[in-house]
Amino acid sequence: MRNLSIYIHIPFCVRKCFYCDFLSGPACDGEMESYVNLLLREIEKQSIFYGDHRVVSIFLGGGTPSLLPAWETGRILERVREDFALAENAEITIECNPGTVTAEKLENYITYGINRLSIGLQSTDDGELARIGRIHDYASFLETYRLAREAGFRNINIDLMAGLPGQSLASYRKTLERVAALSPEHISAYSLILEEETPLYVNRESYTFPNEEEDREMYELTGRYLGEAGFQRYEISNYAREGWECRHNKVYWRRGDYVGFGLGASSMVQNVRWKNPEEHAAYAACVEKMEADALKRMADITETETDRAARMEKSSLQGMDFAEMLRQTDRREVQELTLQEQMEEFMFLGLRLTEGVDLQEFQRYFGKTAEEIYGKQISSFTEQGLLEQEGRRLRLTPRGVDVSNAVFAAFLF
Amino acid sequence: MSITDQSKIRNFCIVAHIDHGKSTLADRIIEQTGLLTSREMQAQILDNMDLERERGITIKAQTVRIVYQAKDGNEYIFNLIDTPGHVDFNYEVSRSLAACDGAILVVDAAQGIEAQTLANVYLALDHDLDVFPVINKIDLPSAEPERVKNEIEDVIGIEAQDAPLISAKNGIGIEDVLEAIVEKIPAPGGSPDNPLQALIFDSVYDSYKGVIVFCRIKEGRVKKGTKIKMMATGAAAEVVEVGYFGAGQFIPCDELTAGMVGYLTASIKNVKDTAVGDTVTDVNNPCAEPLPGYKKVNSMVYCGMYPADGAKYPDLRDALEKLKLNDASLNYEPETSIALGFGFRCGFLGLLHLEIIQERLEREYNLDLVTTAPGVIYRVYKTNGEMIELTNPSNLPDPSEIDYMEEPVVSAEIMVTTEFIGPIMQLCQERRGRYTSTEYIEASRALLKYDLPLNEIIYDFFDALKSRSRGYASFDYELKGYEQSKLVKLDILINHDEVDALSFIVHADSAYERGRRMCEKLKDEIPRHLFEIPIQAAVGGKIIARETVKAMRKDVLAKCYGGDITRKKKLLEKQKEGKKRMRQVGNVEIPQSAFMSVLKLDDN
């Protein structure tokens, strides 16, 4: 059995935050229901390709997935359980925003098997929260956090942001102190990125942002302060107590297989990358095509195979033109990664992790040493103090993290 | 066409300041003489290069022959020779004028006389042309035809009271202009029985016919089979075809005779052999002397042109070769730059000519170019008595071998309203100008005369002039000669490496200021790298200015969008692509725009 991770996109939120360019927007209950219906159909039809996979993590992301009525979330997870082989200790995360969950909803989550909660706090300063258009204040976060612990969540992540308009090093330190004191298992601390066409970008002239120097000081402070508080940085923006790293997140950096369901969701399975359509109508049409395709395949399976084991074997990606099937069912940006592209990804994704990349693994996987392919980059960046090597592990130095894009770009062919 | 009565020919041109309506009037004349229907007229018939139409200027001389039914009942042949309208092409203008017997002076009824009006009229009068004025744009609310008439009489000293009042744009008064052409412009002289003497005023290359020579027959006759010789270049050939200029086409005829304007072809492969101003004569019955006024045209401004993509070097070479076929005043030779790779040092008549060639290369030949700062030709007198003409600053000999240097100086005339005399004089001082005189045209306008070093006006003088006079000043110049000057080579060092393509020659007194501004400008142009980059200006190894591009502090993508690696990779790819378009000097990537941005240093 191969390992598989599942991402499920919930494109709903109360309203868009000012920095957000994700695929999400407000919706009524009816719209949510019909979206979940589509989602269930997609999950069911796609499962026929993963009969030989075991699901090790599920991530419900958005948007604000906690906006869904609890029973809708329940329907989704029930469908996954029914159609996929779920590992017993699978990590199942749902993202939620303060103020969108009740004690009851959280208890329901536990019942559905959700064992990790990711709470979008961003800052403990109400002024900063208001400036970026968050729907909650610090107090409502504390309430949500308390309810989550009471409901029985043992694995909680808190999202933070540095570089917010009006944020100072002092106010950021305050946020770090308060959050660390709550003792969550995991903290994600991102630098704000101004994405074009977001309100924050459009009105950027009317805000005061921390300058680059302050931004980097905030980054350094995060590592230092959280380190002292018992959180280790394991990826550029992610910190966890020992043993509580996000397994789902690491799948992306280590190039494990994952399949995304829902509007605009991204997938990579066996070195093929693709995306679902980003408009609702196109997504619905895409699901229709998946169904038609699945119907044909299922007919083939039921006619020829009767026993379950044989059927399982048939319901896999073995021996089929996977990429062709994806294209025929309207999936977007279908890309069969060439060996070179796989090497590029191995480097620029793996180097995001604090542990870096294993050069021995590179050689095992690609049949060539990393030095043969990237000798120039590795030695030049090592000389410049941006990369360092310990045994056969290669990783970014702290200065290398600051300018990591420049390093990563050099690993592209 | 049967033998034409010489007394019914009128050879003329239109002279004007830029934008006073020369090309529009030409269009109306062509239209009203009936050879063309309105439908056939493109917006402006004579300016037929796209570039000319866009810039509203005439680059190459255009000529058209039209037939006019005059009020006296006779049919007249008009040869309208449209002359280039920019100071860069003064010599071409003078040769076109020499092909005419008279000129129409177009003056804008609102703006009156401008610097180029004067320059062009004097040029026409110098060629003994009969000039009559027309007042254009009389339908403008701000038109003051009476004032302008008086101004023409006072300043130029030609009769203007009966000048036709017209609006070329709206077709008002064109008939008056046509009648005035018949009355006021003399019929051509010369005799068909004398030995052939024809003036070349332009030539174009055609891939089927070879070079097509535009000429005015001053004396004698020429037809198919005539063995001709160009008296200055010495090229000889047998005439294949003669003819005249239809609207946008060549119309063959049997013979061209004295007084006529037309073309000839003679399997000539290169426009170099048919220099503008040269005299064509009959090998078997040569004229005693060539027509006066021929001179070899020299490039005044030089710059390096490099393909942005090094692999396009052969394409650039081919394109220059093709342009040269049609433009004898374009010079180029291969050169190599450490920073920019393989390219060409190109010589031009002036900055406009440079810009036009550059745009044509980019548009018509689809080339992406990097151009180095334009410079003039300096004369370097070495201690060993040798003199070299320097077109590329990199070739400046070691200072110890230099006795002294000379730079070209021009006589400039600037027409300006009196309120701006102060700022304009200040500008001329800043540009090392030597004041000659001020002439008041009328109470509110003056003609300033200065001698200015050419290298001070080729970059951005015109822009500065316009901005300091709110657009009111106009400007004309001609080369005066060479003068000794205290010149130094300014070098730019980026991360301690000298960037040859950024070196230039400058007057010692302006070196510090120029160096400082160059460094400032480059600081903004060069993106931050992973390390700190010093930018220095140096003269003779001594650093005179410095700026620093700080090391990049942050370049990191924090967030990953639900496993959307493709989006992330696209960002990295964009970053890598951006680097590819830059020039590598040492380990610094310099964007191509940096090489160009230093051309515009005057930010007043």
Please tell me which of the candidates A215, A258, A406 has its beta carbon nearest to residue B563. Answer: A258
User: CA torsion, points B91, B96, B97, B101, in degrees to nearest 10?
Assistant: 160
Q: Which residue, of A253, A275, A309, is where some domain finishes? A: A253
Q: Are residues A220 and A346 in the same domain?
A: no
Q: Which residues on chain A are in Cβ contact (under 8 Å) with B565?
A: 252, 266, 268, 273, 345, 349
Largest CA distance in chain A: 68
For residues B558 and B496, the answer to whether their CB atoms sit within 8 Å is no
Mean pLDDT, residues A96-119:
96
- Structural domain total, chain A: 2
Please tell me which of the candidates B530, B564, B565 has its beta carbon nearest to residue A349. Answer: B565
At residue B267, the pLDDT reads 84
**Residue A279, domain member (yes or no):** no
**CA atoms of A396 and A386, how far apart (whole Å):** 6
Asked if pLDDT for residue A229 goes beyond 80, the answer is yes
Q: Which residues on chain A are in Cβ contact (under 8 Å) with B530?
A: 384, 386, 403, 406
Strands B9-16 and B75-82, sheet pairing:
parallel
**Residue A327, domain member (yes or no):** no
Going from the C-alpha of B179 to that of each of B419, B480, B522, the distances in angstroms are 40, 40, 59
Asked if pLDDT for residue A173 goes beyond 70, the answer is yes
Helix B313-326 to helix B351-364 angle (10° resolution) is 120
**CA atoms of A215 and A401, how far apart (whole Å):** 13
Domain CATH code at residue A347: 1.10.10
Q: Are residues A243 and A355 in the same domain?
A: no
Among A238, A336, A342, A405, most B C-beta atoms within 10 A, so best to mutate, is: A405
**Residue A262, domain member (yes or no):** no
Q: How far is B565 from chain A (nearest CA, A)?
A: 8
**Residue A298, domain member (yes or no):** no
For residues B249 and B308, the answer to whether their CB atoms sit within 8 Å is no
Torsion sign over Cα A22, A27, A29, A30:
negative
Chain A with chain B: Cβ pairs closer than 8 A: 93
- Per-residue pLDDT of A4-26, as tens digits, reads 999 999 999 999 999 998 888 88
What's the Rg (C-alpha) of chain B? 27
* B207 three-state secondary structure: coil
At residue B43, the pLDDT reads 40
- Per-residue pLDDT of A136-172, as tens digits, reads 999 999 999 999 999 999 999 999 999 999 999 999 9
Q: Are residues A222 and A349 in the same domain?
A: no
For residues B347 and B88, the answer to whether their CB atoms sit within 8 Å is no
For residue B260, with 0-12 CB atoms within 10 Å meaning exposed, 13-18 middle and 19 or more buried, which class applies? buried
Domain CATH code at residue A189: 3.20.20.70
For residues A347 and A374, the answer to whether their CB atoms sit within 8 Å is yes
Q: Are residues A215 and A356 in the same domain?
A: no
**CA atoms of A373 and A394, how far apart (whole Å):** 14
Residue B566 has what DSSP assignment? H
Chain B interface includes A239 (CB < 8 A): no
Q: Are residues A13 and A124 in the same domain?
A: yes
Q: Report the alpha-carbon angle B33-B35-B41, nearest 5.
A: 100
Residue B112 has what DSSP assignment? B
Residue A97 has what DSSP assignment? -
H/E stretch holding A253 reads helix A247-253
Strand ordering across the sheet containing A156-162: A232-235, A238-240, A186-191, A156-162, A116-122, A85-96, A53-62, A2-10, A258-261, A266-269, A272-275, A332-336
At residue A313, the pLDDT reads 59
Q: Are residues A136 and A39 in the same domain?
A: yes
Whole-number mean pLDDT of chain A? 93
Q: Which residues on chain B are in Cβ contact (under 8 Å) with A406?
A: 530, 552, 555, 575
For residues A329 and A289, the answer to whether their CB atoms sit within 8 Å is yes
| Type of residue found at B16 | A
Helix B421-430 to helix B461-468 angle (10° resolution) is 150
Q: Are residues A16 and A139 in the same domain?
A: yes
Going from the C-alpha of B284 to that of each of A4, B190, B199, the distances in angstroms are 95, 19, 18
Q: Which residues contact B603 (CB under 8 A, 6 or more apart)?
A: none
Among B531, B533, B559, B575, most A C-beta atoms within 10 A, so best to mutate, is: B559
**Residue A53, domain member (yes or no):** yes
Please tell me which of the candidates A7, A61, A268 has its beta carbon nearest to residue B565. Answer: A268
Range of the domain at A248: 2-253
Q: Which residues on chain A are in Cβ contact (under 8 Å) with B553?
A: 212-213, 216, 402-403
At residue A181, the pLDDT reads 97
Q: Nearest residue of A to residue B575 by CA position?
A: A409
Going from the C-alpha of B450 to that of each of B60, B311, B383, B439, the distances in angstroms are 29, 45, 32, 12
**CA atoms of B450 and B409, how far apart (whole Å):** 10
For residue B407, with 0-12 CB atoms within 10 Å meaning exposed, 13-18 middle and 19 or more buried, which class applies? buried
At residue B1, the pLDDT reads 40
For residue B165, with 0-12 CB atoms within 10 Å meaning exposed, 13-18 middle and 19 or more buried, which class applies? buried
Tell me the pTM. 0.68
Among A4, A402, A411, most B C-beta atoms within 10 A, so best to mutate, is: A402
For residues B511 and B540, the answer to whether their CB atoms sit within 8 Å is no
Q: Are residues A243 and A351 in the same domain?
A: no
**CA atoms of B265 and B231, how far apart (whole Å):** 16
Q: Are residues A67 and A214 in the same domain?
A: yes
Q: Are residues A109 and A210 in the same domain?
A: yes
ipTM above 0.90, yes or no: no
Contact residues, A window 161-200, toward B, CB-based 8 Å cutoff: 190-191, 193
Residue segments in chain B with a per-residue pLDDT below the cut of 70 = 1-4, 34-61, 84-88, 247-248, 558-561, 599-604
**Residue A247, domain member (yes or no):** yes
DSSP state letters, B27-53: HHHHHHTTSS-GGG--SSSS--SHHHH
Torsion sign over Cα B505, B506, B508, B514:
negative
Residue with tokens 């610094």: B588
Chain B interface includes A299 (CB < 8 A): no
Q: Is B566 in Cβ contact with A258 (below 8 Å)?
A: no
Q: Report the alpha-carbon angle B214-B219-B220, nearest 5.
A: 95
At residue A197, the pLDDT reads 87
What's the Rg (C-alpha) of chain A? 22
Helix A29-46 to helix A280-304 angle (10° resolution) is 30
Q: Which residues on chain B are in Cβ contact (under 8 Å) with A273?
A: 565-566
Q: Are residues A209 and A358 in the same domain?
A: no
**CA atoms of B387 and B444, how far apart (whole Å):** 47
**Residue A24, domain member (yes or no):** yes
Closest CA to B556 of A216, A248, A412: A216
For residues B308 and B592, the answer to whether their CB atoms sit within 8 Å is yes
Q: Which residue, of A219, A253, A287, is where some domain finishes? A: A253
Q: Is A268 in Cβ contact with B563 (below 8 Å)?
A: yes
In chain A, the N- to C-terminal Cα span, in Å, equals 33
Q: How far is B567 from chain A (nearest CA, A)?
A: 10
Residue B188 has what DSSP assignment? P
**CA atoms of B381 and B406, how far apart (whole Å):** 8
Please tell me which of the candidates B530, B556, B562 has its beta carbon nearest to residue A260. Answer: B562
Q: Which residue, of A226, A253, A280, is where some domain finishes? A: A253
Asked if pLDDT for residue A64 goes beyond 90, the answer is yes
**CA atoms of A188 and A119, how far apart (whole Å):** 10
**CA atoms of A32 and A70, how far apart (whole Å):** 12
At residue B579, the pLDDT reads 79
Mean pLDDT, residues A289-303:
80
Higher pLDDT, A373 or A299: A373
**Residue A37, domain member (yes or no):** yes
